[in-house]
Chains A and B, each alone.
Chain A
């Protein structure tokens, strides 16, 4: 049972909602059912593995002002982006929106993330009045630009990262405007897949329109809008209560981003979190200016990154809406690595934004230890393998990697889980990918050699995944963070281990990569992907001897290494 189900009967009824709470509860359930239905349609009909396996998409409903009302997302990256995107649509079109209009936008600098993420927005009307917006955002496998997949790890401007459509009307009267589709088809490498995903997205916002209209015709637009307002106000009140219970104070954290993709120095980043009463302020002042490489994120993505942690703090299980975030304030000067502006590249923005999230997490962990674990492998370690298969067709295999999470204050960290930025993200089935791509997986195992951060509760294990290339024409590129700076420990634990990618060529040479631009690989080469183990929580000397013995028995750690990391284990064995 989670905390939601605690039974609670308020005895004082001074603060009654100003309308029928039963109707409100029913409408709330209906709104969540609508966004769920959008998500089901999206995963079942999408053409691209990034969406149906990785769930790199989100669906939502916003009110007429663009405030998020209900959302489903399979990943955390889109926690706070919808509002800004819908507001940019409102700004761009004002009163000229009509029923049956659909707007597309993928501009990182209008609340978006990177050009690969296409948002589809549909206004929902009651008569001639806009009541709500349905929105769907999904990662398209390729949107043109310098290389297949559109994310050159060494991009130095946004123009290398593909086609951008900043708030363009793509359907009128529910009919898709063919000219816009032509622009898309002409600018992406996998047009069928792109249009397939567009169709899936279009279907989701159409269904949302139909369902919201059903609610309006039965309960009336005023009742629905009252539910919107009540939802936002209730969430705000809850969030403020959680923040108010935390000790007022100033909390700091620092971290290092290893490599920006074009070979710069390690980048030191920092945060100051101020809690005052029921408000929480997150201040990134002092972070360096935007990097030359594409790990920058724009302000929309930064806000989303901070909101992810704030949501974890105030209410990890209640459905998301804008109300939760009203007590949160994010301060960051323009033009920094977390607030990049035109024409800074942002293709790998989530490699930057995840550090913004982790900074806030790290600053808060000491005061809320039962909400946060020690540091994790952090980076999605996205790997692209592309080329031509036996029949000469282009293939693009894109894969985020799973890795080790940090120890907690009461248990070991989790092994082989997806990083913070994603969420309900599956790894790619080996049998499925071998049937599709000229690749042979040689190993998929826990990374026991790299190990984990020792501690009273140790970190979880990262993974090793090895691909043998089975075609003459292939290349890889990748974006691995935390290649030098290991996951941070808590209390007196030890840091975890780092991520890297190795190419083992047939001649026996090994090359280690982190954020790497396109590099050719040959038939018989092996691409070894290694993700790190999480940081430990608490002093290793406090780890239970049974837990150490179990790790030794299961081959997670050698006896020698166990005796070295945990001296008390040798003593216990000797007795």
Chain B
């Protein structure tokens, strides 16, 4: 059986396929085709076929990538309408009315995804408990249908107030529209989110409707192409929640694919953590322009159910209520440009040289110094052995670029390069602290897993600064998101906004809702019973009077006292204080359901007779700050033997990247081929 994953990125489409019988691995990279991304996917498959992949043997396929986020970013959706409760069609446009750009006295708000003349209202109203105050006026719906027809609308979202408690009016309205306009794509807010906050739910359904027809078409094309290649199904898509779902499921709620690519990496990190016996992981992926970090606790990625798209320091962005792995992104990556600001301070990023022209050392016309140039100047990178020797790096061009900051700072070129790295690392460390220390998690309890082309060069220093237990460079760090997709399981997350006191009655309500959610999950997986599924229920709780809640694991058997203890401890951990004895209430239930399918296995390496001299490719001088130029052994990763401890400083080279190990650190390959760096 062959497991195959494709990850469509901004520049490249990665493919990874693993033949479980032979242990053979296929890796391919094609250029991403922006107009129809399925072309690039098929290119990558064709490349692998040339290397002997037989598509008929593929029986597990995951597809992930940037398709949905691109359609949104480039506003390539369809003509979309929104039907709302009478009196509330402007909620989508008003948003939350905030000005994050405080001192900009020419502020503007994000443009809504549905223009005002396509936002239609119908008479109907529920109260906060879901009781009907005003029946749905079906004549209003019919009037809307006429407008939709006249306006040649291709997709419609429906959002009514308090539908998170009672979706009946939305469902009835959707049924009427679907019946009258079978060719129009229709979705309701409650089909995608059962959480409160009307703007966020309105925006979720509007954006979902906006991309749905395009995504449906895309997946249909892909399916046809896969079938033609005789790839066996079912075909899965990588969702943003760290799990996968069948194609026919994701086209119902395409917005769940919004962070598909990064989520693959997070799923992979969770899996690697399990393999090496580290359930608590800090995952860090360094790309060309940005770096992303996520926290994984008990082998489970943390989810963010209020995800903000296109949020920047100056724009509130668009909030969507779909489960997305909690990712903190910083504008510092391998291509980030170093510069000196008007204060005379050295800064790195957020501008990036990207892949064109790329860092100065690529010799493709880039003249500004980047993190990659700094790595070359300090000797971490081998100019003749970058990207498997396909690209020769030019050290002189890198030095010339770094001199642009070295001269005004009155530093030597290597000291300036080191300074660039320190500033870049500091930005990354602050982001890593944001997801750990600032949320009450001590990095000393965590393992740091680093991926991405530039990640392994930086990992050892970051791990040292954060004092993590160990730093792990997984196998295939360059195509780790795709690898992670093979490690993900079919998964669904269902949320309900529910209120109740933490008492017998409240717990009874939670149990009843949970039973309902479990039934929903069983239905989602189209199973007769819950056999083969694992359920992880959580409840959100807060002290009465608070707005924000803390999520804690919920056990049906737990007593009130246990639950309160768990909550008080979680609150104290996250916010440095708790208020035992204060009234506590439930605000939501979250069920994470996962099918217990097999995932990619990681073979144990054989322990052959090994000699260090075989693994050493040579020596290189690396500039390590205060220690100056230090002689480092250069190892070939594929020739390291498992469980043999080696000492830093050292460089470990592999096809797509180079790992730097610092003086005083130890490192080894573990039994599963993971490169592990330990503090001295």
Which residues of A does B touch, CB under 8 Å? 1-2, 4-5, 7-13, 15-17, 21-22, 24-26, 28-30, 33, 36-37, 40-41, 43-49, 52-53, 73-76, 192-193, 196, 199-200, 202-203, 206-207, 234, 237-238, 308-309, 311-312, 315-317, 361, 370-373, 402, 405, 408, 411, 414-418, 420, 422-427, 429-432, 434-435, 440-446, 463, 466, 553-556
Contacts and interface: CB of A to CB of B under 8 A. Distances in A.
Nearest to B583: A192
Interface in B154-175: 161-162, 164
Given A308-B103, A417-B99, A445 B90 contact: yes
A186 B543 CA distance: 22
A317 B426 contact: no
A283 to B, nearest CB: 21
A405 B104 CA distance: 12
A4 B577 contact: no
A162 B340 CA distance: 51
Contact of A52 (B107, B127, B548): B548
Contacts of A199: 577, 579
B499 interface: yes
A426 B109 CA distance: 13
B313 interface: yes
B162 to A, nearest CB: 6
Nearest to A73: B102
A45 B571 CA distance: 9
Nearest to B133: A440
Interface in B307-321: 313-314, 316
Contacts of A414: 107-109
Given A312-B105, A426-B96, A29 B426 contact: yes
B548 to A, nearest CB: 5
Given A25-B346, A76-B103, A371-B106, A9 B408 contact: yes
A51 to B, nearest CB: 9
Contacts of B103: 76, 308, 311-312, 315-317
Given A416-B94, A554-B117, 16 more contacts: A5-B350, A21-B344, A33-B433, A44-B575, A46-B547, A73-B102, A311-B103, A316-B104, A317-B101, A414-B108, A417-B109, A418-B98, A431-B164, A435-B499, A442-B87, A445-B90
B97 A423 contact: no
A25 B96 contact: no
Interface stretch (B196-204, B263-271, B272-280): B196-204
A48 B346 contact: no
A416 B92 CA distance: 11
16 contacts: A9-B405, A17-B344, A43-B548, A47-B543, A52-B547, A196-B545, A203-B575, A312-B104, A317-B314, A373-B106, A402-B97, A411-B108, A416-B95, A423-B99, A426-B98, A444-B87
Contacts of A202: 577
Given A16-B344, A426-B96, A427-B96, A1 B339 contact: no
B116 interface: yes
A15 B344 contact: yes
A192 B571 CA distance: 18
Contact of B105 (A28, A373, A424, A441): A373
B612 to A, nearest CB: 36
Interface in B76-104: 87-91, 93-104
B576 A434 contact: no
Nearest to A230: B343
Contact of B90 (A200, A411, A442, A446): A446
Interface in B486-508: 499
B107 A417 contact: yes
Contacts of B177: none
Contact of B107 (A24, A41, A405): A405
A13 B106 contact: no
A446 B102 contact: no
A-B pairs, 9 with minimum CB distance = A402-B97, A443-B87, A316-B103, A554-B116, A423-B102, A435-B128, A52-B547, A47-B545, A426-B96
A411 B109 CA distance: 12
Nearest to B339: A7
Nearest to A361: B105
A416 B93 CA distance: 9
B523 interface: no
Interface of B: 87-91, 93-109, 115-117, 127-128, 133, 161-162, 164, 196-199, 313-314, 316, 337, 339-347, 350-351, 368, 404-405, 407-410, 419, 422-423, 426-427, 430, 433-434, 438, 499, 543, 545-548, 571, 574-577, 579, 582
Given A25-B423, A431-B161, A435-B196, A553 B117 contact: yes
Given A13-B409, A25-B426, A416 B97 contact: yes
A47 B548 CA distance: 9
Contact of A21 (B94, B115, B409, B548): B409
A1 B337 CA distance: 14
B97 A371 contact: no
Contacts of A371: 105-106
A424 B499 contact: no
A22 B93 contact: no
A555 B117 contact: yes
A24 B339 CA distance: 15
Nearest to B368: A7
A13 B410 contact: yes
A424 B115 contact: no
Contacts of A8: 339-342
A17 B344 CA distance: 8
Nearest to B195: A431
Contacts of A4: 341
Nearest to A4: B341
A414 B314 CA distance: 14
B509 to A, nearest CB: 15
A5 B102 CA distance: 19
Nearest to A40: B438
B87 A21 contact: no
Nearest to A53: B547
Contact of B100 (A45, A424, A446, A553): A424
Q: Name the residue among B133, B337, B341 with the largest chain A CB count within 10 angstroms.
A: B341
Contacts of A422: 99
B128 A431 contact: yes
Given A21-B346, A238-B342, A445-B90, A47 B546 contact: yes
B557 to A, nearest CB: 29
A43 B161 CA distance: 26
Given A46-B546, A73-B102, A443 B341 contact: no
B115 A554 contact: yes
B571 to A, nearest CB: 8
Given A444-B87, A556-B116, A424 B342 contact: no
Nearest to B316: A424
A408 B106 contact: yes
Given A46-B547, A193-B545, A10 B106 contact: no
B198 A429 contact: yes
A44 B438 CA distance: 12
A443 B410 CA distance: 63
B347 to A, nearest CB: 7
A466 B86 CA distance: 13
Contact of A415 (B94, B99, B548, B571): B94
